[in-house]
Structures are given as structure tokens and as C-alpha cells.
């Protein structure tokens, strides 16, 4: 069974500083997703990473994928309050007649002044 582990689970960030969230997964996958969830809201797609070495950036967020290490990172540059949210990584793996999307537990980010 595919396991997806995120760390840290809670991250208190200081505005202006850089931080990294890690996502490890246990079996081979062909793509990895990062989502953002604000309290009481749905999941917003941030990145889809399709191949080894993939790097995507949007604003202060940058995601990368190392399929050999089964590791993805979400790097936050110069944190600002608007980035306070819960971030999930999720991994697609082949299942019987479909793919199965398995989620990490999420990283709750709080950005303080």
C-alpha cells in the first residue's frame, strides 16, 4: 500500500524567511500533486509534477520531484501572511482500473510577522 508522509505537520514561519516542506512516498508513482487548503475550503491545485527532476514555480512557491528518492519538496521563499494554509502532497499510483490518489496528512503553515 502506498504511503505518503509529509513533514513537518505543523510549520510556524516568520515573514520574510525561507522554509521547505517534505513529501516522501513509499512506492513508484508517475506523478505528484501539491494542493493548498484554506480553513473550511476545498483543495486548490498548486502543482502537478510529472517526471524526475521536474521543478515548477509559482510566485513564492517552488515544487520539485526526485522520483529516485521518492521525494518531493515544496519550498517557500520569503514567507508572507497570505501563505498561511494547509498544504497537501498527493501521489498517483496505478490501481486496478484507474489510478489511486493517496494523500499525505498535510502541513499546516502559519506565517507570523
Partner 1 sequence: NAGVTQTPKFRILKIGQSMTLQCTQDMNHNYMYWYRQDPGMGLKLIYYSVGAGITDKGEVPNGYNVSRSTTEDFPLRLELAAPSQTSVYFCASRRRDRGTRHGYTFGSGTRLTVV
Alpha-carbon distance of 98 to 106, in angstroms, equals: 24
Q: Any idea what DSSP says for residue 68? A: T
Alpha-carbon distance of 64 to 83, in angstroms, equals: 18
62/80 with CB nearer partner 1: 62
Per-residue x/- marks for partner 1, 54-93, CB under 8 A? ----------------------------------x-x-x-
Coil/strand/helix, residue 113: coil
Whether a cis peptide bond, with omega within 30° of 0, leads into 75 is no
61/92 with CB nearer partner 1: 92
Determine if 33 is a binding residue for partner 1 (CB under 8 A): yes
Determine if 45 is a binding residue for partner 1 (CB under 8 A): yes
Identify whether the C-beta of residue 77 lies closer than 8 Å to the C-beta of residue 62. Answer: yes
Determine if 96 is a binding residue for partner 1 (CB under 8 A): yes
Task: Give the footprint of partner 1 on this chain (CB under 8 A).
Answer: 4, 31, 33, 40-43, 45, 48, 50, 88, 90, 92, 96-101, 103-106
Amino acid at each position: 500500500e502506498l504511503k505518503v508522509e509529509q513533514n513537518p505537520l505543523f510549520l510556524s514561519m516568520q515573514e520574510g524567511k525561507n522554509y521547505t516542506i517534505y513529501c516522501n512516498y513509499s512506492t513508484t508513482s508517475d506523478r505528484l500533486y501539491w494542493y493548498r487548503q484554506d480553513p473550511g475550503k476545498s483543495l486548490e491545485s498548486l502543482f502537478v509534477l510529472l517526471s524526475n527532476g521536474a521543478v515548477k514555480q509559482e510566485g513564492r512557491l517552488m515544487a520539485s520531484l526526485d522520483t529516485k528518492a521518492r521525494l518531493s519538496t515544496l519550498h517557500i521563499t520569503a514567507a508572507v501572511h497570505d501563505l498561511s494554509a494547509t498544504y497537501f502532497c498527493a501521489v498517483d499510483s496505478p490501481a486496478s482500473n484507474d489510478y489511486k490518489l493517496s494523500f499525505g496528512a498535510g502541513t499546516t503553515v502559519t506565517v507570523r510577522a
